[in-house]
Structure 1
Amino acid sequence: MSRTSSDGRAFTRAFWWTTAVTAGVAAVFLLLGAMQGPKLSTAQVDSVRVTEQAGQQLRLFANQPLSEITAEQVSVDPAVPVQVSVQGELIAVQFERALDYSTDYTVTVSGVASPSRSATSDFVHTFTTAPGSFVYVDRGETVDEVLVADVAGTGRGEVLHTAPGIQFAAPLENALILARDDGSGGSILEVVDRASDAVEQVRLPADGLRIDALQVPRVGTTVALIVSATDGADGAANRWLALVDLAGVGVADWVTGLDGEPIAALDAFFTQAGDALLIHDIDQALFRLPLADPSLILPVAQFTEVHGVSSDGGRLSATDPFGGVAFDLDSSEEERINPSLFDDALVFGADFHLLASGEWVQRVAVTDSSGLAVANLIVVDDGAGESRLLARTVSDAGSFVDFRVSPNDQFVAIEVVPVVAEAQPDGRAVNGRATSITVVIVNIATGDLVRSVAGFAPTW
């Protein structure tokens, strides 16, 4: 036998041995793969937006296409109701309410399967939400400041912008919207870039106007203004409504009603999605104005007062001649809101904000046996008969000017004058406050006071 033949047979045996081993290993891996379910590759979530709006998503990407998943297969710790959908390799977990600030959330999707395999697996992802913060105004003798402060922080916070004569200020995306004194009893409207502090002025619909109210959406670039003529008799308020799209030409235009004339509004509120404006006019009618086509404005209800839109965007808090009303924006159904007793005492309810949980935060006056109001409180109420205290001034000497609930219903920011008898006005003709005005932040679940700063107009 030749050496060449022997070498050939050895090569053949080695080749088939290698092939057999390789095939065996591949079969083992194929078997293991068939026995294992899909794997989680990456996850995406906006840690800021998820605290600001209901309906935000955690997006889980798998290494292969997936079978359908039900909401019962998804658990969230701390608990949050969710909806879930699957598209190819993507699982979209949608949170039905905004999440708490600075909180670790663990989302578990059980029994994840692929259409091509019977094996299942569990996807687990943990993320931390962004800390909460609020913007507010602190007025000085000659220069005013707009600041941002973390809920969990200390001190005054960070100064975002300084200018004289600030009437209103509100954050919008990466900008600040300011209304300032024009030196003649009116207002100028400005947009401040938060990164560069560059200022751009927005032209109002006419000369000689003062801004009585400023509303900004949580989503979008359109700003609503309620303005009056500065030459009105005895400073009378005309309260005409105007809109300006800051992503457009930057010029404010009148909002006209069904009669083609500018609407005179008591107040206006953006819907949660930022696609429509709810207008409460001086005749106490409530209108819905689609921003995409303002000609489609429609009346929807009649209220003596409108206080705002709930954090989940579904309901409006309002008052009619018979008391408080929760108005469903989709069905137009109304639910009567009756304030509960506080420490077994009768209270008179004022403005309130509806929470996604079904509770509401309300400003109330406590009365004595003769019916005389003896204290002003901020309470949280579920309508079960007894409300729970959130804020009360020392010795009942102060008053609450306004309050704003955080978009996730976790905190309430309250404007308080600590001692009314000693309060001094700041002398501002537009949106004046007491010089002692203070903002306090209260945890709604616990009632704990977590932050206090000198200033007013807190905006989340």
Structure 2
Amino acid sequence: MSTDSRGAARRARGRGRYTRGVAIAIGALVVIGGAAAGTGLTQGPRATSIQQDPQAAAVQSGSRVIFTANEALTDIDPSQVTVEPATDFTLDAAGRTVGVRFPTALDADTDYTVTIDGVQGIGGGPTSTLTTSFTTPKASVLMLERDATGDDRIVSHTVGGSDGDAVFTAAQIDDFRATSAYLIATTVDGDGTMHVTVVNRGNGSTHEIALPGSGIVTGLQVSERGQLYGFTFTDANLSAAGGRENVLFTGSLASSDDPAPVVVGGSEPSIDRWRFVPETSSLLLNSFNGDLTLVDRQDPDGEVSSFGTALGIEGVARSTYTALIDRLEEGFVELDLASGEQRVLTDAHLDGDALLGHILPLPNGDTLRSYAMLEDGIPTTSRIVTMNQDGDVHDIAETEDGDVLQQVCASPSAQYIALTVSDSSGAAYDGGVQSLPEIMETRIYDAATGDEVETWDGFDISWCEVGPW
């Protein structure tokens, strides 16, 4: 056989192998494609991404778990959603996205599972289940420790974990508040001059907020929404001739710009008590003359909502547009800031004579209360309870003989209750601008069991909206 003939034969055999190879490859692709199509037709929609932030969920109301599916979905009904442990939620879904929103903060150090059953593509076909699990971190707080012989400290603590790390120190710290991103503190120099300092909790950088003049800062508060701060300011040279008295100033924690006074009806009113309204840009104000008004910080010249008069503001629930107000005639009421409707709160029925000391709204609609127990009309110990809207009372704790209860407040989800107490036989007031007994401690209780889980030196725990004054 000639060389040309052998070459032609090899080329023919090569073309045959190539043709058979292509046919095999195409056949394999057909099989794989058919299998994939079959899988797609039998398994139903699946999640391509799941967004969740356990850290934020444990400290803020309104956090979400967001599922994104690989195809557009039919309508999802809330009955298809299960959250374990059982937790209130709302549902929003559109196209390929399903969001499960928690109106209140979730409990700390807890395993959660969110499941959506019966999920179906908009084109029909089989259903599937979308699910995710996550664990919230342990509860953490900041607290103020004053030192009569050294620097004052703001320290961090974790329930059931590490504690005692100083995050800010100064010769004299009067008050502080904190958001997830910033810490703001009021300090006092040796000559009595006050300063307001903001600390970026992410990188430790600081900047000072310029005060309107020489004077006293009180009523420090912060808002997680928008990262805002506010305080009331009184001129050092206030006299009968004039000067600012408890004028409210607000500003951005992220900026060193001068704070702006809150203007109502063209003037700067003297404010006795006030609160940021959670998840809004509004401020609830109670002036010295008793006026109770709601103003929008972002639109200070806009319409002001008036709610009559009040003796004080006890708090605004984190997850609702509801404030707890002290009225002259009705006593304590829950005021819906959206509608103006109010509900008069009843007193707790306790064994023995008792005098109400503290009352705060909780995210679930209950109230947290302290009562001084009386013997022959004289206060002895304090009893701390929660009370629901049906009047059912749940005991949390009772102070010991010799304790003086200074403040009570709850963690973001009301999983824990904090009691700040001083010793009635301890050292005298510490001499600060807003003085308190020199020796203070804060006790943390599990709200469900009443067990005391931590005891720390200090006060002004960051769970509280305001300090204990």
Give the TM-score taking structure 2 as reference length. 0.88
User: What pairs up with 1:292-311 in 2 under 5 angstroms?
Assistant: 292-296=298-302, 297-311=304-318
Q: Summarize deviations over 1:263-310 as a string: whole Å, max 9, x none.
A: 111111111114111111111222112121111233234211111111
8 Å contact from structure 1 (residues 438, 455) kept in 2:
yes
Residue 332 (str. 1) matches residue 333 (str. 2): no
Aligned-residue offset at 1:439: 1.3
Aligned to 2:417: 412
Q: Distance in 1 between matches of 2:86 and 2:392?
A: 26
Instruction: Classify the secondary structure of the residue corresponding to 1:317.
Output: strand
Instruction: Classify the secondary structure of the residue corresponding to 2:34.
Output: helix
Residue 139 (str. 1) matches residue 146 (str. 2): yes
Aligned-residue offset at 1:22: 4.5
Instruction: Classify the secondary structure of the residue corresponding to 2:365.
Output: coil
User: What pairs up with 1:345-364 in 2 under 5 angstroms?
Assistant: 345-364=352-371
8 Å contact from structure 2 (residues 109, 137) kept in 1:
yes
Aligned-residue offset at 1:18: 6.2
User: What pairs up with 1:439-450 in 2 under 5 angstroms?
Assistant: 439-450=442-453
Q: Distance in 2 between matches of 1:47 and 1:305?
A: 35
Q: Distance in 2 between matches of 1:208 and 1:6?
A: 99
Q: Summarize deviations over 1:310-344 as a string: whole Å, max 9, x none.
A: 131321112112321111122221111122122x2
Aligned to 1:211: 217
Aligned-residue offset at 1:168: 0.8
Q: Distance in 2 between matches of 1:405 and 1:7?
A: 81
Aligned to 1:287: 293
8 Å contact from structure 2 (residues 346, 391) kept in 1:
no
Q: Distance in 2 between matches of 1:420 and 1:79?
A: 42
115, 119, 128: which is aligned to 1:121?
Answer: 128
Aligned-residue offset at 1:189: 1.1
8 Å contact from structure 1 (residues 345, 367) kept in 2:
yes
377, 381, 385: which is aligned to 2:387?
Answer: 381
Q: Distance in 2 between matches of 1:364 and 1:198?
A: 42
Would the alpha carbon gap of residues 298 and 182 (structure 1) be closer, same or farther in structure 2, given more than 3 Å must change?
Answer: farther
User: Which residue identity does 1:277 align to in structure 2?
Assistant: L
Q: Distance in 1 between matches of 2:17 and 2:389?
A: 89
Aligned-residue offset at 1:87: 2.9
Aligned to 1:399: 404
279, 282, 285: which is aligned to 1:276?
Answer: 282
8 Å contact from structure 2 (residues 358, 408) kept in 1:
no
Aligned-residue offset at 1:79: 0.8
Would the alpha carbon gap of residues 118 and 372 (structure 1) be closer, same or farther in structure 2, given more than 3 Å must change?
Answer: same
Instruction: Classify the secondary structure of the residue corresponding to 1:29.
Output: helix
134, 152, 161: which is aligned to 2:168?
Answer: 161
My pick for the range that moved more, 220-229 or 186-195, is: 186-195
8 Å contact from structure 1 (residues 355, 409) kept in 2:
yes
Would the alpha carbon gap of residues 244 and 61 (structure 1) be closer, same or farther in structure 2, given more than 3 Å must change?
Answer: same
Q: Distance in 2 between matches of 1:403 and 1:420?
A: 17
Residue 151 (str. 1) matches residue 154 (str. 2): no
Would the alpha carbon gap of residues 103 and 254 (structure 1) be closer, same or farther in structure 2, given more than 3 Å must change?
Answer: same
Aligned-residue offset at 1:231: 3.1
User: Which residue identity does 2:297 align to in structure 1?
Assistant: L
Q: Distance in 2 between matches of 1:191 and 1:329?
A: 31
Q: Distance in 2 between matches of 1:185 and 1:230?
A: 10
User: Which residue identity does 2:396 align to in structure 1?
Assistant: L
Aligned to 2:3: none
438, 443, 456: which is aligned to 2:459?
Answer: 456
Q: Summarize deviations over 1:357-411 as a string: whole Å, max 9, x none.
A: 232111212234x54433322221125455333232222x212111222121111
Q: Summarize deviations over 1:168-226 as a string: whole Å, max 9, x none.
A: 11223433211111444442111123355443221112x22111220111222321111
8 Å contact from structure 2 (residues 207, 256) kept in 1:
no
Instruction: Classify the secondary structure of the residue corresponding to 1:33.
Output: helix
8 Å contact from structure 2 (residues 188, 194) kept in 1:
yes
User: Which residue identity does 1:209 align to in structure 2?
Assistant: G
Q: Distance in 2 between matches of 1:217 and 1:14?
A: 69
8 Å contact from structure 1 (residues 323, 338) kept in 2:
no
Instruction: Classify the secondary structure of the residue corresponding to 1:431.
Output: coil
381, 401, 425: which is aligned to 2:429?
Answer: 425
Aligned to 1:187: 194
8 Å contact from structure 1 (residues 308, 316) kept in 2:
yes
Q: Distance in 2 between matches of 1:46 and 1:131?
A: 14
Q: Distance in 1 between matches of 2:218 and 2:18?
A: 93
User: Which residue identity does 1:355 align to in structure 2?
Assistant: L
Q: Distance in 2 between matches of 1:6 and 1:209?
A: 99
Aligned to 1:436: 439
User: Which residue identity does 2:386 align to in structure 1?
Assistant: V
Q: Distance in 2 between matches of 1:50 and 1:172?
A: 14
Q: Distance in 2 between matches of 1:59 and 1:89?
A: 10
Q: RMSD of the TM alignment (CA)?
A: 2.7
8 Å contact from structure 1 (residues 224, 268) kept in 2:
no
Would the alpha carbon gap of residues 67 and 237 (structure 1) be closer, same or farther in structure 2, given more than 3 Å must change?
Answer: same
Instruction: Classify the secondary structure of the residue corresponding to 1:426.
Output: coil
Aligned to 2:75: 68
Q: Summarize deviations over 1:69-113 as a string: whole Å, max 9, x none.
A: 111111011011222222332221111321101111011110111
Give the TM-score taking structure 1 as reference length. 0.90
User: Which residue identity does 1:319 align to in structure 2?
Assistant: D
226, 232, 249: which is aligned to 1:220?
Answer: 226
102, 105, 108: which is aligned to 1:98?
Answer: 105
8 Å contact from structure 2 (residues 208, 256) kept in 1:
no
Q: Distance in 1 between matches of 2:90 and 2:73?
A: 17
8 Å contact from structure 2 (residues 182, 253) kept in 1:
no
My pick for the range that moved more, 17-26 or 268-277, is: 17-26
User: Which residue identity does 2:410 align to in structure 1?
Assistant: V
Q: Distance in 2 between matches of 1:319 and 1:327?
A: 10
User: Which residue identity does 1:420 align to in structure 2?
Assistant: S
Q: Distance in 2 between matches of 1:9 and 1:424?
A: 102
Count of residue correspondences: 450
User: What pairs up with 1:79-94 in 2 under 5 angstroms?
Assistant: 79-94=86-101
